[in-house]
Structure 1
Amino acid sequence: MAFRNVAFAAIAAATLAGAFGMPAQAQTDRDGQQRWINIVNRTGVTIREFYMTDVDTRGWGDDRLGQDVVEPGDSLRVVPTPRQRSRGYCQYDMRIVFANERTVERRGVNLCQTSNLVCTSTASCRVN
């Protein structure tokens, strides 16, 4: 009976963590660096696509949002692929594509020192 209660408590805690937006995994990689970015949309236009690749990789690769979008006023956390993370890069290039076809590119964003990419217009996204 005690095991059942412990198992239920663990499941409930994991469910609540997800419901309140708390990450289920550690925030840092094995080297102690955090490698993720919150895309914050403060524009009036939906962010339709987001590409992120380490600075030594050519091409943008796949859209990291997949079927998701970032609506005006919303934010979404994006983590590099496991392969990118295992390579130990901190510097990433990013490409944001809005629903109105406007794009913004940010080069050399240091994910180990910043956590937000804030888009305030379809021509400007800054890191902080």
Structure 2
Amino acid sequence: MAFKNALFAAFAAIAMAGSIASSAPAMAQTDRDGLQRWINVVNQTGVEIREFYMTDVDTRGWGDDRLGQDTIDSGDSMRVMPTRRQRERGYCQFDMLVVFSNNARVERRGVNLCSTTNLVCVSTRQCRAQ
């Protein structure tokens, strides 16, 4: 009987450790103030997204391409985060620029990352914050 209890306790500990580990990435998606500051860029256009820029509303200029060497193919999405400095400054409002492989550009101003999780591009002229 003691062996069964010890075995049950071991399985319970493993299960609990697995559930804690699986919840860790979700907690890592929020900043110190408990707010999320990221956006899923969803491409439903039929054209590859080549570049994506995101900056807080008080910064002039677009800064660096947040995709780096990556692109977002049509039908795909990618989670993009502001720079660490922007997140630490506590901004929620961000301006965004999407550049497609055919050189079309879409700008979105004042997107609230603290309450929006998706930027859905439905054409090379329209991206909606959702």
**Structure 2 length as normaliser, TM-score?**
0.80
Within 2, Cα distance between the matches of 1:119 and 1:126?
Answer: 6
Counterpart among 58, 65, 68 of residue 67 in structure 2 = 65
Give a deviation string over 1:16-51, Cα, whole Å, max 9, x none: x7xxxx947612111110000000000100000000
Within 2, Cα distance between the matches of 1:55 and 1:97?
Answer: 19
Counterpart among 81, 86, 103 of residue 105 in structure 2 = 103
Q: Which residue does 1:45 correspond to in 2?
A: 47
4+ residue stretches of structure 1 with deviation over 6 A? Answer: none
- Whether 1:89 aligns to 2:95 is no
Q: Which residue does 1:28 correspond to in 2?
A: 30
Give a deviation string over 1:47-105, Cα, whole Å, max 9, x none: 00000000000000000101000000000000111000000000000000000000000
Aligned-pair distance for 1:123?
A: 0.2
Question: Residue 96 of structure 1 aligns to which amino acid in structure 2?
Answer: V
Counterpart among 38, 52, 76 of residue 78 in structure 2 = 76
Within 1, Cα distance between the matches of 2:123 and 2:25?
Answer: 28
**Structure 1 length as normaliser, TM-score?**
0.81
- Change beyond 3 A, Cα 1:83–1:67: same
Which has more radius of gyration?
A: 2
Equivalent pairs, count:
110
Within 1, Cα distance between the matches of 2:27 and 2:84?
Answer: 13
Stretches of structure 2 that go unaligned for 5 or more consecutive residues are 1-13
- Change beyond 3 A, Cα 1:73–1:23: farther
Q: Which residue does 2:119 correspond to in 1?
A: 117
**RMSD between superposed Cα atoms in Å:** 1.7
Stretches of structure 1 that go unaligned for 5 or more consecutive residues are 1-8
Q: Which residue does 1:6 correspond to in 2?
A: none
